[in-house]
A and B are shown apart, each in its own frame.
Chain A
């Protein structure tokens, strides 16, 4: 386990290094694919903070992705045409949204929390579809500028490194967060909520903190998505979009910090690259999901760890808790 913890940083640095080299290929498709990968990584990392660490299963995480994307679009189109400022404004405006939604939903646990977040997520979706004057309805908003007043990232290399910078920033700060006192508190919330108050902290406060950080980071990924695509449509607020980071996290292994990144990589390859060749990629994804659940419940991360430990059969529950026997 010690080796793996050190390996986390090593692997993270390795991904930084190899991602930095991607634009040197001068292949627009690879640049686009890896940009998408970094955005999905940020999104699913933010999701894993809730799901893997705090054990809160949200079905409405697309709400924050969409809020980031739409705020960026509205801000750059109507107020000040600059992607960087748009991103910063939308990231900070997601905080009050996360606080309000969090205060309403976090009083509930288990499936009730899941369904409530789902309801709020779908309310946002319905609002985006119905409030046509502002959000453009189901057509969405087009023409989000890459070139702004302060910075210009129109060329593929420039926007790639723009996304890359945020990718590095988010992965490093979230890693530091999970290693800090707050990271321990978030883990404690997931492990044993009843004992958390013994340490003198309010579970509700820790929950709200986690939810807000998670929403904040998710909205950054949404902004980056809006800037990359230049278009936002309400699809990114639909519940199926909330299920995507969940699938990514589980594929990679939710008990590991790097799990969501690994899962996002597999997901992007499966959905984007495979979709070029096979029309029925959902079928393949479905089989992959079932294989993970039946065979490798720790995700790919679990397979790698068991390889390190020289074990053939791997048993570890979703939250990286080795005592998963109690569930069986």
Chain B
């Protein structure tokens, strides 16, 4: 009996972990290539959720709203890169962090201005309702979709960076932007591209989460910490690490939350503090 309960906690953990992964993927990609710690990442994530809500209310089509909201968030991210972040690539990282913090403040208040103070959510579309029975564990189609989508994005990201020509350019810029430039690669264009992809991933995550979890003011402040913890624990800029750590944190926190319910919110910070005390550079980082 205990095994069944444990298994279902692992299943919930995997779903929670996929959610962390969708949040952390863009952040770690952006950091890995541009070395910018994008504080506004969670604000873009929340924006994706809000946009999804509005498009869904407007059109009634789940897939169409998903694509529109993903694209809109990505474009806004690229626009932010072109207008603001491009000016601060050379400066000490604390300023980069603060600039994106300023962007966060602006995004938060604009969202409050447009969507009000009350959280928004949408219902699971009809064809995704219902659940699947694996052994004694019941898994809703929607969370199963989320887990699979998370894995698919991981594969796509990993393969496109390690196996394609475009990925080779990304890795070249990551190693040394000025040498890459001498080889005819335009780092500026690539950075904008990376921001587009990174924030679009955040928009995707936000759009998917608004179905299960109400999106409202203050959610971004909460999520950015989770994202940072996952990314730093994994080793900054490490995509494989971020995927594994996201799932690990998701599974561990749901198992412990089930065993000792009182420690619920303490847990992620405890995991982060312990793992960083043991291994400074993150679990998958270079030491």
Contact = CB atoms under 8 A, between A and B. Distances in A.
A and B: bona fide binding partners: yes
Nearest to B279: A112
In the complex, the 5 A-B pairs of residues with the closest C-beta atoms, listed nearest first: A286-B105, A289-B102, A286-B106, A283-B109, A290-B102
Give the residue among B102, B232, B277 with the most A Cβ atoms within 10 A: B102
Nearest to B40: A286
Contacts of A108: 276, 280
B91 A115 contact: no
B91 A327 contact: yes
Contact of A318 (B90, B95, B102, B263): B95
Interface string A250-288: 100000000000000000000000000000101101111
Nearest to A287: B106
Contacts of A118: 225, 228-229
B276 A115 contact: yes
Contact of A119 (B101, B221, B273, B281): B273
Interface of B: 37, 84, 87-88, 90-95, 98-99, 101-106, 108-110, 112-113, 221, 225, 228-229, 232, 236, 262-263, 265-266, 269-270, 272-273, 276-277, 280-281
A307 to B, nearest CB: 22
Q: Is the interface of B mostly helix, strand, loop or mixed?
A: helix
A136 B28 CA distance: 38
A115 B102 contact: no
Interface of A: 57, 104, 107-108, 111-112, 115-116, 118-120, 122-123, 126-127, 129-130, 239-240, 243, 246-247, 250, 280, 282-283, 285-290, 293-294, 297, 317-318, 327-328
Contact of A115 (B95, B262, B272): B272
24 contacts: A104-B273, A111-B232, A112-B232, A112-B276, A115-B272, A130-B262, A130-B263, A130-B266, A250-B98, A280-B112, A282-B105, A282-B106, A283-B113, A285-B102, A286-B102, A286-B104, A286-B106, A288-B102, A289-B98, A289-B102, A290-B103, A293-B99, A297-B91, A318-B94
A250 B99 CA distance: 11
B276 A119 contact: yes
A240 B105 CA distance: 11
A246 B95 CA distance: 11
